[in-house]
Structure 1
Amino acid sequence: MRKEKPKYKQIIDAAVIVIAENGYHQAQVSKIAKQAGVADGTIYLYFKNKEDILISVFEDKMAVFINRLQVIVDRNETASEKLQKMIESHFKVQTDNKHLGIVTQLELRQSNIEVRAKINAILKGYLDLIDEILRQGVNAGDFRADMDIRLARQCIFGTIDEVTTSWVMKDQKFDLLALAPKVYELLLNGIKS
């Protein structure tokens, strides 16, 4: 599997930087290779083309979000606590890698329809975990019994996504993590029983 090859992660991390700094359309494979410290041809041992790199970047980095959220979902805590930790975790991953924020919030959205379809399939795993937190809250009586899980998830993800996009658009000049408690309180008030 290509992910286990030694230079895969090096190329992925380089691609995040190059795409963030140059934009997806200006991020030439040669720039990614240079940033990764590999020959141009090495890129093609791992990836079919630039679109494959973008999809792989999202898959690799989304795994970080998903793995962290899975740990939160599996904890023996209330759904409200899990929701709070999910928001904090989402913002923390973004603030820990500011280039990643630019890629996920801006560059991925400018890709073609085939790339977006593949990205949406990868994102589904994360959204399913948010659904699980909401179901746990409904079942425990913490969240409204009549809540539309899908709509609530869209509101939660849409809110954290928009706050993150605003942070990126403002050149990451405000403290995204400091907003987590306010975002949590706002969202919780809409779903608690």
Structure 2
Amino acid sequence: MRKDKPKYKQIIDAAVIVIAENGYHQAQVSKIAKQAGVADGTIYLYFKNKEDILISVFQEKMGVFVSKLEQIIARDLTASSKLGLMIESHFELLASDIHLAIVTQLELRQSNPELRTKINDVLREYLKLMDQILVKGMEDGEFDAKMDIRLARQMVFGTMDETITTWVMNDHKYDLIELAPKVQRLLLKGMQA
């Protein structure tokens, strides 16, 4: 499989930097190849085109978010604690990689509808895991039993997403991770039983 090939990750990491610094539309495959230290043609051994690179970037990086969230869910904690750790983990991953934050918060939004659909398919796995936390909270009596799961998920993800986008738009002038407990408190107030 192509993901096992040694240069795959190198190209993915280079693509994140090039897309963040130049914007998706100005991120030519040749720039990505140069950043990755490979020949232009090498890119096409791994990817069909630039769109395929962007989707692969999102799949690879979202895989890290999913893996972290699976580890959080596996822990024997209350739903409130899991929610807090999820927010913190999400913020930490993006705060530690400014280029990735720019790509996920700004560049992915400018893509065409077909590309956005593929990206949403990848995101769906993460959101399903988030639902597990919300359901646990409802079942355990921590969260309102009549809560609309879809609406709660939109509230949680939307709040995290907007907080990160604002941080990116403000040139990360403040500590994103410091906001995690504040976001958790606000969200919990809205979901408590």
TM over 0.5: yes
Whole-Å separation in 1 of the counterparts to 2:72 and 2:148: 22
Percent of aligned pairs with the same amino acid:
69
User: Aligned letter for 1:135?
Assistant: V
Show the counterpart of 2:44.
Answer: 44
Q: 5 Å matches for 1:114-133?
A: 114-133=114-133
| Alpha-carbon offset, residue 74 of structure 1 | 1.0
Show the counterpart of 1:60.
Answer: 60
| Alpha-carbon offset, residue 45 of structure 1 | 0.1
Show the counterpart of 2:157.
Answer: 157
| Alpha-carbon offset, residue 192 of structure 1 | 1.1
Show the counterpart of 1:11.
Answer: 11
User: Aligned letter for 1:177?
Assistant: I
RMSD: 0.4
Whole-Å separation in 1 of the counterparts to 2:82 and 2:100: 24
Q: 5 Å matches for 1:13-92?
A: 13-92=13-92
Whole-Å separation in 2 of the counterparts to 1:148 and 1:99: 34
Structure 2, unaligned runs of 5 or more: none
TM-score (norm 2): 0.99
| Alpha-carbon offset, residue 114 of structure 1 | 0.8
Whole-Å separation in 1 of the counterparts to 2:100 and 2:176: 14
Show the counterpart of 2:99.
Answer: 99
| Alpha-carbon offset, residue 86 of structure 1 | 0.4
SS in 1 for 2:6: coil
SS in 1 for 2:76: coil
Show the counterpart of 2:168.
Answer: 168
| Alpha-carbon offset, residue 82 of structure 1 | 0.1
Whole-Å separation in 1 of the counterparts to 2:4 and 2:172: 33
SS in 2 for 1:27: coil
| Alpha-carbon offset, residue 21 of structure 1 | 0.2
Q: In the TM superposition, what whole-angstrom CA distance separates every residue of 1:65-116 from its partner, at most 9, and x where no partner exists?
A: 0000010011100000000000000000001111000000000000011100
SS in 1 for 2:41: helix
Whole-Å separation in 1 of the counterparts to 2:148 and 2:73: 19
Show the counterpart of 1:145.
Answer: 145
Q: In the TM superposition, what whole-angstrom CA distance separates every residue of 1:37-89 from its partner, at most 9, and x where no partner exists?
A: 00000000000000000000000000010000010011100000000000000
Whole-Å separation in 2 of the counterparts to 1:192 and 1:126: 22
